A and B are shown apart, each in its own frame.
Chain A
């Protein structure tokens, strides 16, 4: 009888217990195919028919159980469906009908139902004749719960046209909104995806050919926070949060015809993705009274002011792909693939404004009715790889990645924030040009390895990327990397690897005001002192010159079959030496220790510790409006940020068997502590104060047991307790009216202690 831990749930921290097996097997990850240690051969008469059945028959079972959850917590249940206090029944089913291996039959059928009773239910079914065809069906519900401590002032929150209560009292700031607090209504954010997927494959009479295809439909419903703004600049913007209605459908289809014959393979296919949004806009009533700076007598303020926010437009993506491989010889292989696609988006534009008075001011209408957005994508990969001998391997590859943005570029004279009339003067700052970014990359790479002394390998790689961008501060960027390392095969007393990477990125001249020059009219640019939007000296980190050094190492020590000790470390250091302002340096460090011990064949223990830190430095310059030019060079106005994110995780566990294998039990415990700090210092003109770090602490303990009553019945139980604490200065104790010019949601960072007791009865058939 195969002993199995039977709890019909998807709640998993099995990484903590399975880590045991992984550690035992060593990161070479050799499972059942480990060295065969035959030991004493069992005499044929000792063989057990029951043992054979257990090994060769599917483990079909139906499970009925319940979870009792001690407390409500959206955070605890955000992905697992156990967000509500109370008891919920759960049904699970695993059924497989497999052909007996030597019967000649190839028909198989399987159904897997998980968590029926929870919002996270999933169903998988498959049917086929092996070597002929296969069909699969999948249904999955995925939830992602947001805050349950938020509140909103809108009476019909969640709709696509939200309004204020009839007794609303507007104000120029939240200070004078006397009905704000009385108007607050609790609102729970979150989304739910329902996916249905059908896939299949057919092997042709000539088995070298087959056809595979799949279709997936996903419906996503729910809401997420979205802020809407009235106003433009100069201190007149005012914002309010509301739920963005999510009613999205995504269709994905792909099909490929494939050929494989010995050392030659190729496939051709097509992929389609279509996104549909049932809502094109979200309208919201303005809760603010008229603000100086908004167009007067235009009804912008409460009660007539209505704002309009765009919602994600429908879009689609078509892609043809072809790939192939050819074993030119037993030691030489060629690979290639081509992917040619096009992204499209052409929803009708919303109007510049829905305010009728402001709309009447429009003298330069939209240049077009819709974007006609189009990006042609081409990705080509070519590779030659070789293992000319047991001790040597190498490969060389070329990659071409082109995203050619064919979206038309036009001038738009915007009506910002539903609050200002259109300004069509030549020097208007509202004359804006869209920038259809294009990107092209060539990547050249070569790598190889040489084995020596049986189990050791010296390896190295070299890579150059040449990147061209349009409408970017840097037109051409070169990114070079060299890596060298030493590897020793796992499985012996000591195995591991160590490597070092050196990277250097530099490019053509950094045009600091490229975006500004491309995005505004020349007449307006001429009016701007200095002719820049961002302070000179700023370097955007994704295109800035950068030096990178990276060390990586792993060591596994397995003194005998019982013990395994694994050490893992990764360190990356990035320096942006040419960046006066912006990100100037970043470092990430990750270390872990894993240890496992097999007490005997029925019991094992494990423990791990991991420490992870990311820190980065950035420099800024505080610049005023009218004093921008002088402020930009005043070192007293410089400021410095030191970011530091630390994560520590500790886990340990034990599992064992008793009663001749009928009783399985175990415990997994983990503790994860995170801290995110931002430390500001400034030049002499500015002031700063300390910020407390944002922290989270998660403690989780999971006790489980499974008892096999007989060949059909088993019972399982689990007790899971989880405690989570978090502190974030951006949310804690911040009510919706904390800020003068933004009506917030009043969310708190979550705390919870939740206990879950689960029991299930399983029938094997």
Chain B
């Protein structure tokens, strides 16, 4: 960058700083920025990419010495980017050292974010499913935006659906969690930055523990357990959505009959023969209403001493 242009850029940055309410005196700002390259001559409020909105985010709070702005503002994250600043020809201007754009190796730009954000959940990032899939932090997060869509419960799922279209499809099924209404967010169950759960990037150490955060009444332990429920809720349920009530994988009695074929009614072949007949009462009580749960509602376990058959 030419000498004159460098000083012009710096003065422009100072001018913008003075125009903002409650700014530091010009000489303090200049002092703080003597080592800073000015990016805002070009990337100002008229830029079609809304870069300056970062000033309203936590990343720009200079009073917090941990923030990139308290360090060297833009270049803390984007790198010194000498070639980008010094280029004379806009049409062939090289990108900044880190532009967090598509086409850039995720691992490299992610290291910038991890410099500060590697505690808590992000401790598990390296080696996690998203990291090994080369997902960049900037794939989900909008650092420059006042409102990061993925951090807002109302819009978070839309970000996740961008890659997880099969989950989007499942959430369109009639029996589902209230994700569309903003009452359940993907991050209520999942830790996308990595987790202790193994498969599924769940918020807790196991799938069942994750479910118990909202469904603690199912935790027990119970006197009469139902083994698949004790072990894994997803043995019977599809939490992203189902065409069956209670988000079951299949409907009763046939779901239950995949594991229970005792003599008499548990092993009976159910079909349209169980529908109501011409007279009343008629019909198979294992099919109509709530099928097996017409008598055996305690499918998650029973603590009643006489409840061994899950009837009480």
Contacts and interface: CB of A to CB of B under 8 A. Distances in A.
B7 interface: no
A130 B61 contact: yes
B306 interface: yes
B102 A28 contact: yes
Interface string B165-199: 11011111110001011110000000000001110
Interface stretch (A652-660, A733-741, A754-762): A733-741
Given A35-B102, A437-B227, A688-B273, A30 B139 contact: yes
Interface in A325-371: 325, 333, 335, 337, 339, 341, 343, 345, 347, 349-353, 366, 371
Residue among B95, B254, B267, B309 with the highest chain A CB neighbour number at 10 A: B267
Contacts of B143: 32-33
A305 to B, nearest CB: 14
21 contacts: A18-B158, A22-B162, A27-B163, A29-B140, A30-B139, A56-B20, A58-B56, A103-B63, A309-B304, A349-B304, A373-B221, A414-B306, A439-B230, A439-B231, A538-B261, A610-B169, A618-B257, A620-B261, A622-B267, A680-B270, A682-B271
A46 B196 contact: no
- Number of contact residues on B: which range applies? 35 or more
Given A12-B180, A46-B46, A738-B282, A58 B146 contact: yes
Contacts of A472: 227
B76 interface: no
A731 B258 contact: no
B268 A622 contact: yes
A542 interface: yes
Residue among A44, A277, A397 with the highest chain B CB neighbour number at 10 A: A44
B103 A491 contact: yes
A307 B312 contact: yes
Interface string A370-387: 010111010101011101
Contacts of B80: none
Nearest to A682: B269
A447 B56 contact: no
A306 B62 CA distance: 70
B123 A265 contact: yes
Contact of A47 (B29, B44, B119, B216): B44
Q: Which are the 5 A-B pairs with shortest beta-carbon distances?
A: A491-B102, A689-B272, A385-B127, A131-B64, A373-B221
B254 A678 contact: yes
Contacts, number: 580
- Number of contact residues on A: which range applies? 35 or more
Given A56-B56, A227-B290, A535-B263, 12 more contacts: A29-B139, A29-B159, A104-B24, A310-B312, A323-B123, A343-B220, A345-B222, A492-B103, A534-B261, A582-B258, A612-B173, A739-B294
B123 A275 contact: no
Nearest to A225: B290
Interface in B91-141: 93, 95-96, 99-103, 105, 107-108, 118-120, 123-124, 126-127, 131-134, 136, 138-141
Contacts of B308: 412, 414, 416, 432, 519
Nearest to A540: B259
Interface in B220-269: 220-225, 227-228, 230-232, 235, 242-244, 249-251, 254, 257-264, 267-269
A730 B213 contact: no
B190 to A, nearest CB: 16
Contacts of A570: 166
Residue among B42, B217, B242, B305 with the highest chain A CB neighbour number at 10 A: B305
Contacts of A672: 172-174
B198 to A, nearest CB: 5
Contacts of B293: 227
A689 B170 CA distance: 30
A587 interface: no
A253 interface: no
Interface in A290-337: 307-310, 312-313, 315, 317, 319, 321, 323-325, 333, 335, 337
Nearest to B90: A38
Contacts of A352: 305-306
Given A99-B63, A623-B267, A38 B165 contact: no
Interface in A409-438: 412, 414-418, 432, 434-437
Given A101-B55, A691-B272, A674 B294 contact: no
A213 interface: no
A432 B305 CA distance: 10
Residue among B22, B50, B303 with the highest chain A CB neighbour number at 10 A: B303
Contacts of B169: 590, 592, 610, 612, 647, 649
A540 B258 contact: yes
Contacts of A540: 228, 258-259
A729 B271 CA distance: 11
Given A27-B163, A689-B271, A624 B263 contact: yes
A599 interface: no
A313 B140 CA distance: 41
B200 interface: no
A390 interface: yes
A273 interface: yes
A377 to B, nearest CB: 7
A250 interface: yes
B56 A260 contact: no
Contacts of B23: 100, 102-103
Contacts of B96: 36
Given A32-B50, A140-B183, A395 B132 contact: yes
Contacts of B264: 623-625
